[in-house]
Amino acid sequence: MSNAKQKPSGGMGFGGKRPVGKPGEKAKNFKGSGKRLLTYLSPFKGRLILVVLMTILSTIFTVFSPKILGDTLNVILDGMIAKFKHVPNASIDFSKLGHYVILLLVLYVLSSAFLYLQKFIMSDVAQKTVQSLRTAVDKKLHNLPINYFDTHPQGDVLSRVTNDIDTISSTLQQSLTQLITAVITIIGITIMMLTISPLLTLICIITLPICFIVAMPIVKKSQRFFFKQQQELGKLSGHVEEIYSGHTVIKAFGKEKDAIKEFDEINNRLYASAWKAQFMAGILMPIMRLISNIAYVFIAAVGGIMVVNGKLQVGYIQSFIQYSRQFTQQISQTTNIANVLQSTMAAAERVFEILDEPDAVADPINPKVIENPTGNVNFNHVKFGYSEDKILMQDMNVNVKAGQTIAIVGPTGAGKTTLINLMMRFYELNDGSITFDGTDITNFSRGYLRSMFGMVLQDTWLFNGTIKDNIAYGKENATMEEIITAAKAAHADHFIRTLPEGYDTVLNEEASNISQGQKQLLTIARAILANPKVLILDEATSSVDTRTESYIQNAMTRLMKGRTNFVIAHRLSTIKDADLILVMDQGNVIEQGNHNELMEKGGFYSTLYNSQFANNDEIA
């Protein structure tokens, strides 16, 4: 198909969009989303076990260090106290001290080595998991029905595919390993504290339920705010994408203030939700720190009494305080990660909403192929509406023979573009059937069906690339000779050769470095190169000057020979020679016949035709 590819952020049919729908406002079950996200990690169970093993080893070497540091301090203090008491031959045992110092260095090195391996393995797991998720979303987007894109803001879809997946990536890369480390460290530190003093350990652990009691209400509230934040971010992305893609129109109609006002409204809502989310997340750390500082006071007081009573050595008090600090730090980090997980689950829910959307009707398992397609198209009792409660077409019957030129006319919103979209199966029928050469189009694969159509749209679409590549998009493995021949047939060769780089000229993202008329010529050349059995022209010459239009009409007359042609045009003077004219209004074909037949009837077409020329006479 010559021009089947559409802008990635919009609907895949052509013509006006349907009314925009609202994204979901209620978050899904946190546990359910978490479990579903973990399923993407399941292929890497072996590596995750390695990550946990590396974390355990790194943590073991880390948690032993304060205890050995306490032993080191005890060696120094024992020697100094013995000297102070004038014990004969008293001195610091430097041999034992050196042994502890070397052991500490070995522990620190091994801990760092295992931590490095943990980060290395987890980085690979996280990126491959996110790659798998991105692939699933991309595949889903290709399988979604066109009305999904018509009813969802483009920027919101882009935000889900980019911002939300990036949030998940960041969590898997950092927060997941931090959570594993924190949990294992808490267990290890608890064991080491028990070896020093069960009483002091009890004082330290009492703070744990207090932390959770304080944290849980905050975490639950922050989940709502984080989801709202992601929602508003999606809306802001959609607004910005819409405004900057249509900035010329906005300036032409002087709507800058309205655009800024709408931006400010969305931005203010984003600020409010983000402020609440970050505030709820931010107050956790000060509260945790306050609770931990109170615990330090009790540990220091009780520990001092135990040293005075000879039940504990001073070095171990230092070790225990270090352990208690690490303990509260890990608890605080765990609660902080819990807040990060709220944001991640909110992002995951938005991504899963895309994955949970129903797919378009699948292609047949054994699709049919026509050996020599001719281009007979029939609409048989077609019934269609964009929603069940709003049917647009009622019992449409149209018979088009191969080689005929069919003009489709009618006022704006009559259903002209919808008819084309149905024929190419961008939408599914509510009832009836459409056949191509006697075969129901649902028996073809969509790709094969659309390959038999060539399209020149009113809204020209060219991608960022060379002119040569844009024309060649109409035919796979097209030769340079074929590209030039198509360009000449479309009267585009001359202007292309006047460009500095000729056919190698690179078009920018919006193809704004060539004129609108030149864009139209390139899309016509693309359609010519595709050599389709059915040609669809949607206001094909509405954006070019009179002289260029004359060239194009001559080229199109030659191109249209031997093909079935559907022409959508508002200027009725251009379709007087059509074999069949379909007059549409409010979604239905209300009149059909050739120009003379319709004029003789004196119906809707006659009125439309006469009014158009009357307006032209008034202007003249």
CA angle 98, 100, 101 (to 5 degrees): 65
Helix axes 284-308, 198-245, angle to 10 degrees: 160
Tell whether the model's pLDDT for residue 2 goes beyond 60.
no
Q: What is the C-alpha to C-alpha distance for residues 575 and 548, in angstroms, rounded to an integer?
A: 18
Contact 159, 238 (CB under 8 A): yes
Instruction: Give the pairing of strands 405-409 and 564-568.
Output: parallel
Contact 73, 314 (CB under 8 A): yes
* Residue found by looking up tokens 């239905």 in the block: 588
Q: DSSP alpha helices (H): ranges in 473-579?
A: 480-489, 493-498, 516-530, 546-560
Give me the pLDDT at residue 558, please. Answer: 66
Tell whether the model's pLDDT for residue 618 goes beyond 60.
no
If you average pLDDT over every residue of the chain, what do you get? 80
* Residue found by looking up tokens 């919103």 in the block: 413
Residue 562 is given by DSSP the state T
Contact 478, 529 (CB under 8 A): yes
Highest mean pLDDT among 207-211, 227-231, 467-471: 467-471
Q: What is the C-alpha to C-alpha distance for residues 555 and 559, in angstroms, rounded to an integer?
A: 6
End-to-end CA distance of the chain: give it in Å, rounded: 41
- Copy the structure tokens of residue 395: 């019992």
Average pLDDT over residues 477-481: 88
Contact 434, 441 (CB under 8 A): yes
Tell whether the model's pLDDT for residue 430 goes beyond 60.
yes
Q: Which CATH superfamily is domain 363-452+568-620 in?
A: P-loop containing nucleotide triphosphate hydrolases (3.40.50.300)
Q: What is the C-alpha to C-alpha distance for residues 255 and 470, in angstroms, rounded to an integer?
A: 34
Tell whether the model's pLDDT for residue 367 goes beyond 70.
yes
- Copy the structure tokens of residue 183: 């949990």
Give me the pLDDT at residue 613, please. Answer: 63
The domain defined by 30-355 carries CATH number 1.20.1560.10: yes
Tell whether the model's pLDDT for residue 21 goes beyond 50.
no
Average pLDDT over residues 473-489: 86
| pLDDT (tens digit per residue) in 300-322 | 888 888 888 878 887 888 888 88
Tell me how crowded residue 17 is: count the other CB atoms within 10 A of its CB.
Answer: 13
Tell whether the model's pLDDT for residue 17 goes beyond 80.
no
Average pLDDT over residues 250-263: 79
Q: Domain limits of the chain?
A: 30-355, 363-452+568-620
- Copy the structure tokens of residue 519: 């864009």
Instruction: Give the pairing of strands 506-507 and 465-466.
Output: antiparallel
